[in-house]
Structure 1
Amino acid sequence: MNAQTNAAAAILPLTNPLLDEAAIRASALAVIDTEARAISILRERVNAGFLQACQLMFDCPGRVVVIGIGKSGHIARKIAATLASTGTPAFFVHPAEASHGDLGMITHKDVVLSLSNSGETDELLTILPLIKRQGVPLISMTGNENSSLARLADVHLDVSVPAEACPLGLAPTASTTAALVMGDALAIALLEARGFTSEDFARSHPAGSLGRRLLVHISDIMHTGNQVPRIGADTSLTTALVEMTRKGLGMTAVTDDDGRLLGVFTDGDLRRAIDDNDVDLRNTPVRQLMSSSPKTITADKLAAEAARVMEEFKIHALLVVDADNRVVGALNIHDLLRARVV
């Protein structure tokens, strides 16, 4: 069993006599089935209205303003956040606050996406005439295509559901899930239409792990100057060991008088030399023991590329060279770990 299975086993069976294990499982499965059906129905609603909504948001010279209140407000916030992080500038406006000044945040360059399951939410209907007066395109997302909000909108997206997962038919459950999925469908359709890339995504998530992997360059984390271990080809093995120990990267570059790379001498090369009884550790020049075709990388490459090279070739450090093969830096796996690239 995996950790999750073990954790579940640790809390079962139920000890409270008021809790019925079979009933709880049945209730949970019924919710999942109900919401799955609500989502599956959305497939047939990716229609001309959906395409028109995408066109309005794609052509929008301003931002997509997403509004909603109550549970629809929570979903509206999530949709606005998803749009903004996937290449469609967007933000959330609370309709009640809009009536008290925040309506000024909406300009004639924007598109409004309004969420209400009933389509009759007072706070929304109060501000719609003012939005329409500005000539702002209005997209509605409701569960009632005959509602006031649906009829006032330029485009209506039907997110009605056969039933809520709540057995009382009161708590928004399946309806909010359907609205959220429709919002995700809009966001991802626009992402692909814009040619939005993982690098674009990382720029809006610089603090996340993806941002670190995609935005950190070798030049940001490499050792430079006197921090880079380097020796000449005629240097003795003993001196090479001193340089490696002083710089602490587990290797040293071997360069000519102009700083061009000739090879690399690593901890592994040292171990092999020690195991070879014919090697004079004190006097053998490092050129006889170095690797003459080391893996290198340039400073403009992403740190994630360095991680890939290290993993592919089972090495723990890389030398950084310029276009003339001069050594300009060095890094090892610990530098990537500190930068949280791996």
Structure 2
Amino acid sequence: DANLTLAVSKNVAKTIQLYGVKSEQLLCTQGDASQVIGPLTEGQRRNVAVVNSLYKLHQSVTKVVSSQSAFPPAAEQTITSALKTIHVLMGNAVQPLLTSVGDAIEAIIITMHQEDFSGSLTTSGKPDVPCSLYMKELQGFIARVMSDYFKHFECLDFVFDNTEAIAQRAIELFIRNASLIRPLGESGKMRLAADFAQMELAVGPFCRRVSDLGKSYRMLRSFRPLLFQTNEHVASSPALGDVIPFSTVIQFLFTRAPAELKSPFQRAEWSHARFSQWLDDHPSEKDRLLLIRGALEAYVQSVRSREGKEFAPVYPIMVQLLQKAMSALQ
């Protein structure tokens, strides 16, 4: 009987919602729910238990609903809607932890600017160290976070859906900061290239497969060769605009310019962290390109004021890329 089924399904939905409300009251939202320094706290254990029980409920009800052969669509819809609230609640329960992990990763990546990438090659033609200190720290942190916190969740797909987003953001921040390194010597390039390879390994625990990260993964793979290419080759890279934003590549070319041609953040007298925050607040490519244009115009003024006869060789290439990028936005 369709009416009876609908009435029962409404009661099922109410029960699911009540279970959700009771579970939410059990969640720990204090500071220790989001700490990522020590082992699992009592509050974090409780949150894991709540998420696991919500997951079991979600799975069991979904299984029952999908096994019904003649289930009225309205009844199915009623239960499915209630289950969506359970999924949202699971997300809310892990959000403080995810935010802390993301913040810690950003804090580690930004320490790359405390390392020296200016060196020239040693006689062996190899960099002094295989990969940077910040990269070792990042790899250790991600591996520990997975084993200390995330492995206690029984809902693997749910965990990966959330940690893959952190991995994408980590790659984006890594490329952003790598493109800001100045000065970058030949030995520094070799070490940074090693860091690019190690970055894939670093975010590995957060993913089913690193290649699942889509555009972030392609950007990581496409940017690395640019480290060793000439300015002209960089400017004609097929990855430009499609895989790697123009603003990121032009930002990277500042590395090859004399100190007089200041990067946008240097001109504004911002720290790397403040500039990174500005980029987060201005996701529009146009805003980022306008900031770059301001830095290039300031350089022209600087050369003219000292009555310089020529611009740095990389300058016309940067201008050409900027024009290309601006016209692509039209």
TM-score bin, normalised by smaller chain: under 0.3
**Higher relative contact order, structure no. (Cα contacts within 8 Å, ≥ 6 residues apart):** 2
Which one has the bigger strand percentage?
A: 1
Which one has the bigger helix percentage?
A: 2
Which of these two proteins has the greater Rg computed from alpha carbons?
1
